[in-house]
Amino acid sequence: MMPEPSSHEALIDRLGTGLVPVRRLLPPWLRTAGWLLVVVALAVGLLLHYGAAPMLRRWAATPDLAWAGVGAVITAISAAWAAFALGVPGRPAAWAWLPLPGAVLWIGASGLGCLREWIAPGTEIASMHQSADCLVFIISFSVPLSALLIVLLRRACPLRPVLTAVLIGLASAAASASLLEICHAYDSAATDLLTHALAVVAVVGVNAAMGGRLLSKA
């Protein structure tokens, strides 16, 4: 069924009839900053409640955990920025690689936590029960942060919905892990790291499965 040549004209005419002025989308970095503002607000709330002292004390004792925290923050920022960039048609898919350096630092430094018992035998190690709290914490903060990103990106035009959803999952999981640093009562160990990894994979996976569908309708 070939439409007759005039059918494009008819469509163009109809689209022209429905033309109203539009408010242009803000640039990706500004939209990223808006989302980060919400994360910062949450961080301020947690700091007011717990204070910065326990976090700083823990970081002084185990610098690799401080590096992991820095890596998580960088991952959250770069993954969100990449997601917003991919929401604009014509931006290269290479943006998806932006969170890689931060993620390497985050995962690499956390991985050192596995060796905790050999590096710093005196530190307190989380039990399975405490680790489950971390899982709940990361997931419960990731859900609203992911939802906010999905809402913001539905106003854009993510032409690669699943890739964008993976970045959304990564950004919100990394942001949640960063927030967890503030109120984490104990040091990273194999059990703790495993639950973190589980939470991150769950958040990214759910986003890829559901977010991809939600974004492709946008």
- The footprint of other proteins (CB under 8 A) covers 1-3, 7-9, 11-30, 85, 87-95, 98, 156-157, 159-160, 162-163
Task: Show the CA angle centred on residue 50, arms to residues 45 and 53, nearest 5°.
Answer: 120
Buried b (16+ CB within 10 A) or exposed e, 154-184: eebebbbbbbbbbbbbbbbbbbbbbbbbbeb
Minimum CB separation from other proteins for residue 30, in Å?
7
Minimum CB separation from other proteins for residue 205, in Å?
17
Handedness of CA 185, 101, 35, 153 (dihedral sign): negative
Element (H, E) at 52: none
Pick between residue 59 and residue 81 the one whose CB is nearest to other proteins.
81
Phi, psi (deg, nearest 5) at residue 125:
-110, 140
Minimum CB separation from other proteins for residue 26, in Å?
8
Per DSSP, helices labelled H in 113-211 are 116-119, 128-154, 161-183, 190-206
Minimum CB separation from other proteins for residue 94, in Å?
6
Minimum CB separation from other proteins for residue 28, in Å?
5
CB neighbours of residue 112 within 10 Å: 17
Pick between residue 4 and residue 49 the one whose CB is nearest to other proteins.
4
Minimum CB separation from other proteins for residue 18, in Å?
7
Pick between residue 25 and residue 66 the one whose CB is nearest to other proteins.
25
Closest CA to 84 of 167, 146, 28, 149: 28
Pick between residue 97 and residue 108 the one whose CB is nearest to other proteins.
97
CA–CA distance, 200 with 104 (Å, rounded to integer) = 14
Q: At residue 135, what is the residue type?
A: L
Pick between residue 89 and residue 121 the one whose CB is nearest to other proteins.
89
Pick between residue 15 and residue 48 the one whose CB is nearest to other proteins.
15
Specify burial of residue 34 (Cβ count, 10 A radius: 0-12, 13-18, 19+): middle
